[in-house]
Structures are given as C-alpha cells and as structure tokens.
Amino acid sequence: MTPFQYLKKTEKQRRKDLFEFLAFPSVSAKSEHKKDVAACAKWLNSYMSKCGFKSRIYKTKGHPLVYAEYMVDKKAPTVLYYGHYDVQPVEPLELWKSQPFKAQVRGGYIYARGTADDKGQVFAQIKGLEAVLQTEGTLPINVKFLIEGEEEAASENLPAFIKSHKKLLKADIAVVSDTAQFSKTLPAVTYGLRGLAFVEVIVDGPNRDLHSGAFGGAVANPVNELCKIVGQLHDKNNKIAVPGFYKDVKPISKWERQQFKKLPFSEASYKKMLGVKAVHGEKGYTTYERQWSRPTLDVNGITGGYQGEGAKTIIPATASCKITCRLVPNQDPDDICRKLEKQILKLAPKSVKVKVVKHGGARGVVVPVDGPWLEASGRAIKKGFGKEPVFMKEGGSIPVVADFKTMLGVDTLLIGLAQNDDNIHSPNERFRVKDFENGCRTAAVLPEELAKVGE
C-alpha cells in the first residue's frame, strides 16, 4: 500500500480523531481554560505516541508543550516540525452556526475553533508522517515535532525553552503549517511573515463617572480624548504618524513587486468576500503589498463608558484600547513599542492621565526564496495538491519562526494548508475537507522530497 492509499483507506477514522482534538477548548489567552489547555496537551501527547513517535510533555511557565520525535539515521536530514494546539477565544458565541468545540461538517468544510488555526493543519502533518510510517515502516528523515500551547498568546515562554533545549531541537530545516494557500485553486509556498508590536493605552479622567449634564463640557472625557489620540496615529495618506516608525523599513524590492503582480487579484471579489465598499490603506501600495510587506497600526478593541441597554448619560471615568502594529523584517517590536508610547504620551492632553503598557511582540521574517529546501517543499505541494505552488507572503505572525533562525540557525518552510476565508480568529472557523486531505497527502510526500536534499 502507498501512503496515499493508506490515507484514503483511513479517512473516516482520521476525521474522527481530528474531531477529538478539536473538542478541547484549549484557549490559551483565558485563565479559566488552563485545565482544558493542559488536557489537550495530554491528549496530543498520547496520540503522538500512538502514531509511533517518542513523545513527551514539557512544562513551561505558562502552558505545556508537546515534543515528539522519530529518529532514523544520523546521516539523514533532521526536520523540525512546529505547530500550536492552543486556539483563540470563541466570542462572540452567538454568531457561531454550530458549537465551536463540537466539530461539524457542512458543505465540504469542517467547522470548529482551531480547525484551520492550527489544530487541523498540524494534525495533517502528523497524519501524513504516520501514513509513511504505517506503509513503509520507517521515515526517510529524522523528525522532531514541537507543538506549543501559547502561540495565540504570543509564544511568551517558547524562546526560553528553545534557548535551553538547543541540542534537542537541532535541525537542518523547520516546517510550519500555520498559514493559508494563495486560493482554493492555487497552493502556495510562503516566504515571509509580518511581526507584531503590542501596546495597551489606558486613559483616566475624573475619579468617578460624572453626570454628563452636570459636568459635561468642563471636564475632559477619556473616551473622547482616547479617540482623538487614536485618530492622530495615521496621516491623510494612511501612513503611520509615529516619529521613527519607518526607520528600519526597507523599500519593497523590484523582484517582490513583480512577484505580487503576477498573482491574480480581483478587487471586486476581495471587497465582496469582506463585505466592504472600498479597499483601504497606505497610499502608493497595492493590496498585497499592504497586506504582506508594509507595516500597520490597528486598534484591536476599545472600551469605555456605558454600552448597556438604553441611555446612561455620563462622562466615563476611564477608557482604554489595545493597539497592535504589524511589522516587517528589521523592525524591532520593543523599539516600535517605545516609539508608540512616546508619541501617544506626547499627544495626550494634560486634562487626562494616559498610561501606555508595552507588551512587546514578534519579529517579522523572510526566508530564502530559492535553494533546495524550498524546491523540495514545492515538489511535495505539487504532489499533494496536484498543482504547482505560487510564491506569496502572509500578513500574520508566527513568533517562533524568527526564533528558529536566530537561536537555532534554522530556516522555515511555511507550508500553508488553509484558505484566507477560513474565518481564523473569527466565528465559524473552518477548514476545507479537501484542503485537509490534500494537506495530509502533501505531508506524506514531504519527507521523501526533503530526504533528497540530504543526498
């Protein structure tokens, strides 16, 4: 039996097993789910063992991580697979058509929190490797698997783990399936990710909520003032108006501009998919350039005052917001946080107290766009999806990819299996059954293609 035939034969059971994995509410951001995250790690650990890997759990200061390996031969290449078993919060729950932790198949999609980001994708890698193990009795490469439980919380404790386990994690190349394909008809090799800088802004006004008639007009309203500050963080061309923000940003190369232009883009269908009337962004750049190769600044959430039923006429005592910037390679998250803080404090009027809490973030990365590893992953994608992949970048962030490079000296192959309309971080997250299956196939042929690099 070939690995592909094995995958075909075991499709039903594989789906069942994935549904078990998806049933854990492993929301890393919320302390109320700490036990669920741990239970998910435990399940994954024993599942990896059942699949034939030597697997164990490592505790961290935060959520545990699962490390598994299958070592065959010192001379064969060693591949470090990475994924995350934690998921984003599910709110707003009322917008889900089926329960987020009870996976359901509808119209060719598996719906559940974590299907595309990232349980379904990492599961495809596991099951592809298992198919090779089951049919061939061994693997042509050494495999190390690192599956963490804190990616959605910015991988806070992972750098320390990598630093103290350099020998354990030593590898020739890393593989990450935690991104999207270019489209439903075009698989992709992703060669870059943006980084992230995260700050929180807290604006305090009067020492209690005030009657907006009795005091309105004479006291600064923290919500008004916060909005004014936020409103000044972009200029009229949608450039970020923070001094020094672009200092380390390199212009987009000619090669890259041409590469992006080759990719199909329909503004009409893009707008339709998102339900917006017009696209938006930094003047002088195309949508792909804005999404993948330019930095951004966005408010993720803003809070303050009364939002309950009916009217409550107050000047709220306080307001706050969370801001993230997407960064491009060379921009340093801590440096950007400092610059942001400085500018926000400068914009703050004396009538309110403004505090900026800096949370750091992740660095952006680009990986080499040529070389034998990338070619090998291209061949595997072609065999798994039946189509030659295109080159693209992604606007999202995977913090560990930069750490792999700086701490272990390892480049990463970003083999995205999902789609950009899979609703990751959003209600009704989904993963196409077809993408899951083709992803498993890609994962099953990847080892033999990577093994060729070592020959």
177, interface contact from ligand BES, Mn ion, none, CB < 5-8 Å by kind? none
Binding residues for Mn ion, total number by CB under 5 A: 3
Nearer to Mn ion, 178 or 449 (CB): 178
- In the complex, minimum distance from the CB of residue 426 to ligand BES, in angstroms, rounded to a whole number: 11
Residues 79-118 that bind ligand BES (CB under 6 A): 117-118
Q: Which residue number is nearest to ligand BES in terms of Cβ?
A: 396
154, interface contact from Mn ion, ligand BES, none, CB < 5-8 Å by kind? ligand BES
Q: Are 304 and 228 in contact (CB under 8 A)?
A: no
Stretch that binds Mn ion, among 8-16, 172-180, 328-336, 443-451 (CB under 5 A): 172-180
26 part of the interface to ligand BES, by CB under 6 A: no
Nearest to 69, CA basis, from 151, 165, 3: 165
- In the complex, minimum distance from the CB of residue 395 to ligand BES, in angstroms, rounded to a whole number: 6
Nearer to ligand BES, 152 or 172 (CB): 152
Nearer to Mn ion, 179 or 318 (CB): 179
Per-residue b or e along 396-428, where b marks 16 or more CB atoms closer than 10 Å to that residue's CB: bbbbbbbbbbeebebbbbbbbbbbbebbbebbb
179 part of the interface to ligand BES, by CB under 6 A: yes
139 part of the interface to ligand BES, by CB under 6 A: no
154 part of the interface to ligand BES, by CB under 6 A: yes
Residues 378-397 that bind ligand BES (CB under 6 A): 394, 396-397
- In the complex, minimum distance from the CB of residue 384 to ligand BES, in angstroms, rounded to a whole number: 19
From 36, 69, 86, 118, residue interacting with Mn ion (rule: CB under 5 A): 118
Distance CA 437, CA 385 (A): 9
Write the secondary structure of the chain as one string of H (helix), E (strand) and C (coil): CCHHHHHHHCHHHHHHHHHHHHCCCCECCCHHHHHHHHHHHHHHHHHHHHCCCEEEEECCCCCCEEEEEECCCCCCCEEEEEEECCECCCCCHHHCCCCCCCCEEECCEEECCCHHHHHHHHHHHHHHHHHHHHHHCCCCCEEEEEEECCHHHCCCCHHHHHHHCHHHHCCCEEEECCCECCECCECEEEEEECEEEEEEEEEECCCCCEECCCCECCECCHHHHHHHHHHCCECCCCCECCCCCCCCCCCCCHHHHHHHHHCCCCHHHHHHHHCCCCCCCCCCCCHHHHHHCCCCCEEEEEEECCCCCCCCCEECCEEEEEEEEEECCCCCHHHHHHHHHHHHHHHCCCCCEEEEEEEEEECCEECCCCCHHHHHHHHHHHHHHCCCCEEEEECCCCCHHHHHHHHHCCCEEECCCECCCCCCCCCCCEEEHHHHHHHHHHHHHHHHHHHHHHC
Stretch that binds Mn ion, among 34-42, 113-121, 210-218, 372-380 (CB under 5 A): 113-121
Residues 341-380 that bind ligand BES (CB under 6 A): 362
From 150, 151, 172, 341, residue interacting with ligand BES (rule: CB under 6 A): 151
178 part of the interface to Mn ion, by CB under 5 A: yes
Q: Is 307 buried (19+), middle (13-18) or exposed (0-12) by CB count in 10 A? A: exposed
Nearer to ligand BES, 120 or 447 (CB): 120
From 36, 69, 86, 117, residue interacting with Mn ion (rule: CB under 5 A): 117
Binding residues for ligand BES, total number by CB under 6 A: 15
Distance CA 21, CA 14 (A): 11
435 part of the interface to ligand BES, by CB under 6 A: no
Stretch that binds ligand BES, among 126-134, 178-186, 257-265, 266-274 (CB under 6 A): 178-186
Residues 302-331 that bind Mn ion (CB under 5 A): none
Distance CA 98, CA 100 (A): 6
Nearer to ligand BES, 147 or 451 (CB): 147
Give me Rg for the CA atoms of the chain: 23
Stretch that binds ligand BES, among 176-184, 231-239, 298-306, 345-353 (CB under 6 A): 176-184
Stretch that binds ligand BES, among 174-182, 221-229, 275-283, 433-441 (CB under 6 A): 174-182
Nearer to ligand BES, 147 or 398 (CB): 398
399 part of the interface to ligand BES, by CB under 6 A: yes
Stretch that binds ligand BES, among 148-156, 223-231, 241-249, 380-388 (CB under 6 A): 148-156
Stretch that binds Mn ion, among 170-178, 247-255, 285-293, 376-384 (CB under 5 A): 170-178
180 part of the interface to ligand BES, by CB under 6 A: yes
Which residues lie near ligand BES (CB under 6 A)?
Answer: 117-118, 151-152, 154, 178-180, 196, 362, 394, 396-399
Which residues lie near Mn ion (CB under 5 A)?
Answer: 117-118, 178
